[in-house]
Amino acid sequence: MKKKLQINAFNIFVTVFIVLYSLSILLLMFWALLTSLKSVDEFRLNVLGLPHPFTFENYDIVFRNFRVPINNPADGLMYEIPFEQQLFNSVYYVSVSSLLAAITPMLVAYLTCRFPGKLSTVIYNFVVVTMALPIVGAQSSEMQILRGLHLYDKFIGLFIMKASFLGMWYLVYYAVFKGIPKDYYEAAEIDGASHFTLMTRIAFPLASATFFLVALLNFISIWNDYQVPYLYMPTKVTLSYGIYYMSISGTEGLAYPPIHMAGTTLVVAPILALFVIFRKKILFTVNIGGVKG
Amino acid sequence: MKLTDKFVKHLKKRWFYYLMLFIPLMQVAVFYVYVNINSVILSVRKYDIFTNSFSFAGFSNFEKVFEDIKTQPIVYTAVKNALLLFALLWLLGFPIAVMVAYFLSKGPRGSNFYQVMLYLPSIVSTVTFVIMYKYFCERAYPAIMETFFHKEVEGLLSNYDTTLGTILFFNVWTGFGPQVIMFTGAIKSIDPALFDAGKIDGVNWRSELWHIVLPGIYSTLVVFIISGLAIIFTNQMNLFSFYSRSAPPRLWTMGYYFYAEVSKAETMADFPYLSALGVLMTIVIVPLTIGLKKLLEKVGPKET
């Protein structure tokens, strides 16, 4: 229920602050959208005003010319990765990675919760310790290992790297499985259910809401990340890296603010759509993520 | 019962557990445990680009790191900027985030909208936000100053005096929302009876914030401060998104330096030096993180 707050210095200060904050975010995004709808020539003279006329030509330019050149180490030749290929790479890499990054902690959390013992305790404590233990500059080592295993610059290399159970989601799943009454498992066991059936027919369906949200949040963060694919999978260009490349390179025909803004709008649009559709669930999950002692 | 019989019985009972755990444990063994062990091994090796092989180098990489810290201002600057960012996020961002979260937890009108706005910078990719912000600072800001104040000014990122401040502001501005959302969640989970008791006693907002809210969310605050310190040497301050590999050295942070160096490496020749630097930074930050955690747990406010 929305409340009418009493008027005092604190409420006035915070209201002004948060309104300004929200305006600053909206203003920036609105300005970027308007800029993407101006022609390059118009933007030179009209940086702040409304587009006159509104044009979608920048989006068309992005679709036609949004290419990222790569040097393929396999044959030493230069190739250009077009927009469609970047889109395919993004969807493939992000979908598989986000699923693996959601399934692995769920599987390990279930096993360590369902089969208590020394190994399960060690795994639980290991996850907690790694969350607080800062490791600096391990990229060189990761790179060397990926190259040594012939996984460098391959989708499969990053899929394996993302399939880790370390991190906060393991603890979230653990709490979910801990809350499932043992009677459920016992009743199924009496009916002759195997370990696999117990896991896939009872435990996982009960954790499906959490799984869905973890996969969604992973999808958003992996979609937005350009640095990991750029470092470990440089020839499999994703859309996020494409946008980054466009922003730093002076590629002829693309190096103009309205065109950059059209490119950013295209990358942001699917994620914003997902956020708008699932915002209640996402914000609720993040809200309950507040750690309580 | 023999030990082997016991083992066989145990395996029969738990075969599913071990079978299903095998692959996830192997993944962590290689991509976490071995990666970090290999980082230490790399730090005492050197790479020969002619023979394409590593050999033992003793502590020469560490000696070079210490030499660079003494002679190269870049390492000093990178550490200083990382500390500056942490201080800003902690001293400026945290108190404001707590106050905003306290306000939102009361469910004022528009709180759903504000929560969406606060979370938006986390949803939209950083690189796209950087592109928008960069052009706003470089093109819209001078246009605003000229149109409304009749002043000709440089862009905020081009101006030498405002570059660092503009980038620091970006980091605080975009990193602030998720903190507020988390703190709001933590405040909402405080026992409402405490607030009711406070109201009966006639406490004002200052007392409520200090005696009920802060003790109630203290563990969340500690987690944020500790994780903020833990990533102090890996935080890139989004410099790679702003400048790629050509950020002015006066803006560098350790996180940016590591990423930029590894991403440009064509051979593995630089890896031993970078690993030595990483190992040294880890040695510095681990006791600091553990020490700060213990200190915060000791000095924290007690619930009243």
pLDDT at residue A111 is higher than 70: yes
| DSSP strand pairing (B45-48 vs B53-56) | antiparallel
* pLDDT at residue B304, rounded to an integer: 46
- Over residues B48-73, mean pLDDT: 86
What is the rounded CA–CA span in Å between residue B73 and residue A158? 36
ipTM topping 0.85 = no
Which of the two residues, B285 and A5, has the higher pLDDT score?
A: B285
Confidence at B150, pLDDT banded by 50, 70, 90: very high
- Over residues A244-258, mean pLDDT: 77
Residue ranges of domains in chain B, CATH in brackets = 3-43 (no CATH), 60-299 (1.10.3720.10)
Determine whether the interchain pair A134/B231 forms a contact, defined as Cβ–Cβ distance below 8 Å: yes
A257 contact residues in B (CB cutoff 8 A)? 135, 139
**Burial readout B58-77 (b: 16 or more C-beta within 10 A, e: otherwise):** eeebbeebeeeeeeeeebeb
Beta-bridge partners for A81: A68
Does A45 reside within a domain? no
Domain count, chain A: 1
Chain A residue closest to B209 (CA)?
A10
Among B92, B128, B176, pick the best mutation site for testing chain A contact (most A Cβ within 10 A).
B128
Determine whether the interchain pair A142/B31 forms a contact, defined as Cβ–Cβ distance below 8 Å: yes
The CATH number given to whatever domain includes residue A96 is 1.10.3720.10
- Helix, coil or strand: residue B108: strand
Q: Is A220 on the interface with B (CB under 8 A)?
A: yes
Mean pLDDT of all residues belonging to chain A: 87
CA distance B106 to chain A (A): 7
B126 contact residues in A (CB cutoff 8 A)? 224
Residue pair A83/A257 in contact (Cβ under 8 Å)? The answer is: no
- Over residues B60-65, mean pLDDT: 90
Closest to B275 (Cβ–Cβ): which among A141, A199, A271?
A141
Chain B residue closest to A249 (CA)?
B244
pLDDT at residue B44 is higher than 60: yes
Q: What is the count of residue pairs from A and B with beta carbons less than 8 Å apart?
A: 286
Residue pair B222/B300 in contact (Cβ under 8 Å)? The answer is: yes
Determine whether the interchain pair A140/B240 forms a contact, defined as Cβ–Cβ distance below 8 Å: no
Does A25 reside within a domain? no
CA distance to A11, B68, B100, B103, B276, per residue, from A17 (Å): 10, 44, 8, 11, 44
Does A291 reside within a domain? no
* pLDDT at residue A249, rounded to an integer: 75
What is the rounded CA–CA span in Å between residue B215 and residue B197? 15
Closest to B262 (Cβ–Cβ): which among A47, A143, A220?
A143
A66 contact residues in B (CB cutoff 8 A)? none
Name which of A257, A245, A246 is nearest A39 in CA terms.
A257
In chain A, which among 48-107 make CB contacts under 8 A with chain B? Answer: 48, 104, 107
* pLDDT at residue A133, rounded to an integer: 72
A268 contact residues in B (CB cutoff 8 A)? 124-125, 128
Closest to B185 (Cβ–Cβ): which among A47, A161, A287?
A287
Place of tokens 């986000």: A98
% of chain A with per-residue pLDDT over 90:
48
Beta-bridge partners for B53: B48
Closest to A166 (Cβ–Cβ): which among B32, B119, B285?
B32
- Over residues B27-39, mean pLDDT: 93
How far, rounded to the nearest angstrom, does the alpha carbon of residue B77 sit from its chain's CA centroid?
18
What is the rounded CA–CA span in Å between residue B7 and residue B11? 6
* pLDDT at residue A286, rounded to an integer: 59
Determine whether the interchain pair B278/A138 forms a contact, defined as Cβ–Cβ distance below 8 Å: yes
Q: Is A167 on the interface with B (CB under 8 A)?
A: no
CA distance to A13, A75, B288, per residue, from B205 (Å): 13, 68, 34
CA distance B161 to chain A (A): 23
Question: Three-state secondary structure along chain A?
Answer: CCECCCCCHHHHHHHHHHHHHHHHHHHHHHHHHHHHCCCHHHHHHCCCCCCCCCCCHHHHHHHHHCCEEEEECCCCEEEEECHHHHHHHHHHHHHHHHHHHHHHHHHHHHHHHHCCCHHHHHHHHHHHHHHHCCCCCCHHHHHHHHHHCCCCCCHHHHHHHHCCCCCHHHHHHHHHHHCCCHHHHHHHHHCCCCHHHHHHHHHHHHCHHHHHHHHHHHHHHHHHCCHHHHHHCCCCCCHHHHHHHHHHCCCCCCCCHHHHHHHHHHHHHHHHHHHHHHHHHHHHHHHHCCCCC
CA distance B96 to chain A (A): 9
H-helix segments, chain B = 3-28, 35-43, 60-71, 73-87, 94-105, 111-123, 126-135, 141-149, 163-188, 192-200, 205-207, 214-216, 218-230, 239-243, 254-264, 271-299
Which of the two residues, B50 and B251, has the higher pLDDT score?
A: B251
A47 contact residues in B (CB cutoff 8 A)? 139-140, 143
Determine whether the interchain pair B135/A164 forms a contact, defined as Cβ–Cβ distance below 8 Å: no
Does A144 reside within a domain? yes
Q: Is A210 on the interface with B (CB under 8 A)?
A: no
Confidence at B13, pLDDT banded by 50, 70, 90: confident
CA distance B64 to chain A (A): 16
Closest to A10 (Cβ–Cβ): which among B39, B116, B205?
B205
Q: Kindly report, residue by residue over B122-146, the tens digit of the pLDDT.
A: 888 888 899 999 999 999 999 999 9
* pLDDT at residue A292, rounded to an integer: 33
- Over residues A112-139, mean pLDDT: 87
What is the rounded CA–CA span in Å between residue A63 and residue A267? 12
CA distance B286 to chain A (A): 6
Which of the two residues, B69 and A124, has the higher pLDDT score?
A: A124
Q: Kindly report, residue by residue over B162-217, the tens digit of the pLDDT.
A: 999 999 999 999 888 878 877 888 888 888 898 888 888 888 888 888 889 988 88
pLDDT at residue A127 is higher than 80: yes
Closest to B184 (Cβ–Cβ): which among A11, A267, A287?
A287
Determine whether the interchain pair B281/A5 forms a contact, defined as Cβ–Cβ distance below 8 Å: no
Q: Kindly report, residue by residue over A175-218, the tens digit of the pLDDT.
A: 889 989 989 999 999 999 999 999 999 999 999 988 988 898 88
Does A50 reside within a domain? no
pLDDT at residue A4 is higher than 80: no
A104 contact residues in B (CB cutoff 8 A)? 24, 27
What is the rounded CA–CA span in Å between residue A127 and residue B32? 11
Confidence at A245, pLDDT banded by 50, 70, 90: confident
Chain B residue closest to A73 (CA)?
B266
Confidence at B233, pLDDT banded by 50, 70, 90: confident
- Over residues A97-126, mean pLDDT: 95
Residue pair B169/B136 in contact (Cβ under 8 Å)? The answer is: no
pLDDT at residue B222 is higher than 90: no
- Helix, coil or strand: residue B238: coil
- Over residues A49-67, mean pLDDT: 87
Structure tokens at A22: 């929200």
Does A243 reside within a domain? yes
Q: Kindly report, residue by residue over A266-280, the tens digit of the pLDDT.
A: 888 888 888 888 877
pLDDT at residue A293 is higher than 60: no
Structural domain of residue A194, as residue ranges?
A: 67-255
The sign of the torsion formed by the CA atoms of A70, B134, A31, B109 equals positive
Closest to A137 (Cβ–Cβ): which among B32, B139, B274?
B274
pTM for this model (two decimals): 0.82
* pLDDT at residue A290, rounded to an integer: 40
Q: Is residue A245 packed enough to be buried (19+ CB in 10 Å), middle (13-18) or exposed (0-12)?
A: buried
What is the rounded (10 degree) CA torsion for B147, B148, B150, B153? Answer: -80
Confidence at A291, pLDDT banded by 50, 70, 90: very low
* pLDDT at residue A3, rounded to an integer: 62
A22 contact residues in B (CB cutoff 8 A)? 113-114, 117-118
- In the DSSP assignment, the letter for residue B147 is H
Does A15 reside within a domain? no
Confidence at A284, pLDDT banded by 50, 70, 90: low
B300 contact residues in A (CB cutoff 8 A)? none
Does A165 reside within a domain? yes
Assign residue B48 a region (left: φ > 0; alpha: ψ between -120 and 50; beta: otherwise). Answer: beta
Q: How many CB atoms lie within 10 A of CB A155?
A: 16
